[in-house]
Amino acid sequence: MSSNVKISIQYLFFAFLFIGISFFNAYFFWWRIDNGTEEFFIIVFSVMICWIGIGYLSIMISGKIVFKDLKEVGFMSPFTLVLSGFLYEKKGLQIAKKFKTRFSAFAFPTLIFFIFLFYQIIHLVEKNNLAHYRIEKQAIIEEISYYKGSKRGCVVFDFDKKKIRKVIYLKDSFKNKGDYEAIVFSSRNPYIAKSKAEYEENLK
């Protein structure tokens, strides 16, 4: 096995490892994100992990474009690359600029693509769960809040011996704390929940 192939495998391994971990981490906490700030920071942390994975992938692609031979770059982490000034000391200013340009041109669109892909997966999973594993229930409104002019309620309901809290949009603006709201949620993942009125409106 040639050195180029070995280096490519290393880059691909770490790229898919970090990107995979970020996807699974974000996927697990996505529907729990309105439970508190901890989940929100976990999502942000997942994006950062994904960015590291994309960094490995971008180094490999940029190295092949700029140098044609990955042995010129070797195997390095995105942190090492940034600290080295994109190989400024080893390869000179012009090469460093070219390498940085290629790196950025690949990395940023790739991050946007993965975020878009993640949103599409989330949408499909949510749609499938509520279509095939939907349960309807009356949930008590524990708190009321407003977001961009819309009234939201933190509803509480029991499922599978667990108390589930979920923030949903309230179509009925007269609903207040202590009232009951009809909701739909998935038996496979009870955190996938919406008000029944919002769910039925989305079906139209």
Q: Tell me, what's the pLDDT at 168?
A: 86
The beta strands (E) that lie in the chain are given as 134-147, 150-159, 162-169, 180-186, 193-195
Do 11 and 62 belong together in one domain? yes
Domain that holds residue 42: 3-126
Do 21 and 106 belong together in one domain? yes
- Contact between residue 175 and residue 138 where contact means Cβ atoms under 8 Å apart: no
Do 26 and 119 belong together in one domain? yes
Residue 163 CB contacts under 8 Å (≥ 6 apart), including other chains: 156, 157
pLDDT tens by residue, 52-69: 999 999 999 999 999 888
pLDDT tens by residue, 119-159: 999 999 999 999 999 999 999 998 887 766 678 888 999 99
Cα-based torsion angle of the residue sequence 176, 165, 188, 16 in order, rounded to the nearest 10 degrees: 120
Distance CA 131, CA 46 (A): 28
As a residue count, the chain comes to 204
Supply the CATH number for residue 182's domain: 2.40.50
Do 112 and 178 belong together in one domain? no
pTM of the model: 0.83
Do 77 and 108 belong together in one domain? yes
Do 20 and 120 belong together in one domain? yes
Do 120 and 140 belong together in one domain? no
What percent of the chain lies above the pLDDT cut of 70? 96
- Contact between residue 50 and residue 18 where contact means Cβ atoms under 8 Å apart: yes
Question: How many domains in the chain?
Answer: 2
Do 13 and 114 belong together in one domain? yes
